[in-house]
Structure 1
Amino acid sequence: MIKHMLVHILLCTALLCFSSPVVADDGADEVYLYINLWQNRIYLKDQEDNILYSYRIAPGAKDTPSPVGIFRVIHKSRDWGGGFGSRWLGLNVSWGTYGIHGTNRPESIGRYASHGCFRMRNREIEKLYEHVPLGATVIIDGPIMGHEDLTYRILVPGSKGALVQLVQNRLRAAGYYEGKTHGIFDRQMERAVIRFQKEEGLDVTGQIHWVDLRYLGIIE
């Protein structure tokens, strides 16, 4: 099965996530957010791992899973309104727009229900918002596919997500890929995949299938 623990992708995402330009607030290193997708819960912790706040969340649904990895808060906004509730904490996810926000559907909290973002009750995101500085680290821990019921998907040109990013890092380490590890299956990655498959004696599909993931050591 696909290796679920975040430890398998932290090193792959750290350099990318901390490369985005952002002017951090004072105290950005004093606290961090930890999101556990198995528990559907978000924690605000200090650097000694003491839990300051803990709330239930609604992460991405099966067809629109949430990102997994290490990110930063790069945007804060009040009063988004509508489905995004009263607060927004935007994350520097390279393959799309994701954030932590309120909701007009509080009944969805605790379930995999969003389009990839992390929904919270408005009164809880309002409280959390005041204690999360711009530039704060956000660790999202969970199944690499972002949903507990997803174990594998064929990756094709245009695919996006943490699994794409992990494949990019493995291909880079093997000397096949020189592009950005941004989690987007672009033309440069497709060329690298074809070269990898040719030189390793695999079926040349230009896509990433189960056998390719296994060959790269991503699944067992």
Structure 2
Amino acid sequence: MMSLFISIIGYEYWDELELAAIPNQVEKAPTGSISIVIKVPARILELHNDGKVYKQYRIAVGQSETPTPIGDWRVIWKAHRSADLLGTRFLGIDVPWGGYGIHGTNRPWSIGHFISQGCIRLRNKDIEELFEWVPVGTPVRIEGEISPIHRELKRETIGQDVVQLQRKLRGLGYLEGRADGFFNNDTEVALKRFQHDKGLKATGITDRKTLDLLGI
């Protein structure tokens, strides 16, 4: 009887209705300070309220060829959409090397997979809820694996490898700002301080010895 029901309503609708939903979740809007943490390997988006997990959503993320950008971002704009491939709502995030965002989808069967061009997909029902709860300026931390650094990084360099460098410098106490993928003045100063402390020439430019000492 259940298989007959699924065949009647269609797989996509069934997936939208049940398979992508995480059970026993709150439905009331949070009242504290809001932030988002996206765990790429687990394909889970966490909504945090005053620093604690408030609600979780299953998501789709980028393919290996077009990975979801790891880093510390912010929601910079919000928009309604016409229920196309990007769903009914869109939350744009400030990744400096592309137009990435958190959005819905007209392909609910894709939720839970590594399938997008790098954006984060949710069921339309879920993104519509988040859209109402998440203001512009909300921090968005995306966690996952980052590839090794193979190029020289210096001031005004942009990319995922800059995020890795910034996270390492932050973890060592040299950088206080966000790991936002843009090699700015603060990143240069932090790198120079690290190089100086390690007895290297403080160029503010990565070389193999600097990266080895950073462990990346």
Which TM-score applies when normalising by structure 1? 0.59
8 Å contact kept, 1:28–1:136:
no
Structure 1: any 5+ residue segments left out of the alignment?
1-26, 174-180
C-alpha distance in 1 between matches for 2:159 and 2:99: 12
C-alpha distance in 1 between matches for 2:112 and 2:59: 5
Count residues with an aligned counterpart. 171
Query: Kindly tell me: are residues 81 and 156 of structure 1, through their superposed partners in 2, closer, same or farther at Cα, counting changes over 3 Å?
Result: farther
The residue aligned with 1:11 is none
C-alpha distance in 1 between matches for 2:81 and 2:51: 32
Residues 67-106 of structure 1: matches in 2 within 5 Å? 67-106=69-108
8 Å contact kept, 2:62–2:68:
yes
C-alpha distance in 1 between matches for 2:66 and 2:138: 25
What amino acid maps onto 1:127 in structure 2? E
8 Å contact kept, 2:35–2:138:
yes
Residues 41-56 of structure 1: matches in 2 within 5 Å? 41-47=44-50, 49-52=52-55, 54-56=56-58
C-alpha distance in 2 between matches for 1:97 and 1:208: 30
RMSD: 3.9
The residue aligned with 1:163 is 164
The residue aligned with 1:38 is 41
Q: 2:177 matched to 1:215?
A: no
What amino acid maps onto 1:104 in structure 2? N
Q: Deviation per CA, 1:79-115, whole angstroms, max 9, x where unpaired?
A: 1543211110011222322110012222221112111
What amino acid maps onto 1:68 in structure 2? I
SS of aligned partner of 1:67: coil
The residue aligned with 1:9 is none
Query: Kindly tell me: are residues 42 and 57 of structure 1, through their superposed partners in 2, closer, same or farther at Cα, counting changes over 3 Å?
Result: same
What amino acid maps onto 1:154 in structure 2? H
> What percentage of aligned pairs have identical amino acids?
35
8 Å contact kept, 2:35–2:51:
no
Higher relative contact order (CA 8 A, sep 6+): 1
The residue aligned with 2:134 is 132
C-alpha distance in 1 between matches for 2:70 and 2:159: 12
Higher strand residue share: 2
Q: Deviation per CA, 1:97-137, whole angstroms, max 9, x where unpaired?
A: 21100122222211121111101111211122111112112
Q: CA deviation at 1:38?
A: 2.5
8 Å contact kept, 2:74–2:140:
yes
C-alpha distance in 1 between matches for 2:108 and 2:53: 27
C-alpha distance in 2 between matches for 1:122 and 1:94: 26
Q: Deviation per CA, 1:156-185, whole angstroms, max 9, x where unpaired?
A: 688721236558989xx6xxxxxxx86358
Which TM-score applies when normalising by structure 2? 0.60
